[in-house]
Amino acid sequence: MTHGGHGSSPTTGVEHAGETEEELAYSLFMHHSSGVALILLGTLVLTDRVTSRRHGAFQISVGIVWLLFGLHLFIRSDPEGWPIGPAGFLESFSMPTASEWIQHKVLSLIPIALGVWAFLSRRVPMSAPMSYALGGLLALGGAGLLVHQHADHQTLDIVNLQHRFMALTALFIAGSSVTDGLAHLTWKAKPFLVPSGLIVLGLQLVVYIE
């Protein structure tokens, strides 16, 4: 969901595995910046839980970072398409990379929704139905990474392999989120599962290579 520039029309610069140096640099920037955002989110969630949710500033910060992260992905992924590229909204549907553009825009709505969720649920204890709903939303991101395919990476190369590991981590976060609302599960490690998963996913993105 963070891939930017793959499969776009060659511009200027040296080509590297089907993409120019500019496109490669932009893609790495999107992945690495997303990793920093997720590490920050994991740290904020962990701090909020360690302090027993006594400080509303941490919860507000989590919501803000989720929203900014989602907007970053929505606006800046696929620089050849709408809203920042030369192609307009309708033109973007007929680009050679239209399927990727659509996938990226849809997947970027997940962190935006998580940001809204963080604000709405600040004063509401996590219940089982809420945890199922949140886990389902997070699982959509993991499922999206599992089926996400880029035009210039059709085989299980290093790019797709890394995305599969990211997808598994995202599904782990989704499952961990479900356990948060299950009162009968009293594992000591339970509060640390979601933030740990976010930090691990962030690290995977920070060290991402192509």
The rounded distance, in Å, linking the Cα atoms of 170 and 172 is 5
Using one digit for the tens of pLDDT, what is the confidence trace for 189-203? 899 999 999 999 999
The rounded distance, in Å, linking the Cα atoms of 126 and 180 is 7
Domain boundaries defined on the chain: 19-206
The rounded distance, in Å, linking the Cα atoms of 43 and 51 is 12
- Residue-level pLDDT at 86: 92
**Beta-strand pair 19-20/15-16:** antiparallel
pTM of the complete model:
0.83
Comparing C-alpha atoms, which of 103, 45, 35 is closest to residue 69? 35
> Considering the domain 19-206 in this protein, what is its CATH number?
1.25.40
Using one digit for the tens of pLDDT, what is the confidence trace for 90-101? 999 999 888 889
Using H for helix, E for strand and C for coil, what is the string for 81-138? CCCCCCCCHHHHCCCCCHHHHHHHHHHHHHHHHHHHHHHHCCCCCCCHHHHHHHHHHH
Comparing C-alpha atoms, which of 114, 205, 93, 164 is closest to residue 85? 93
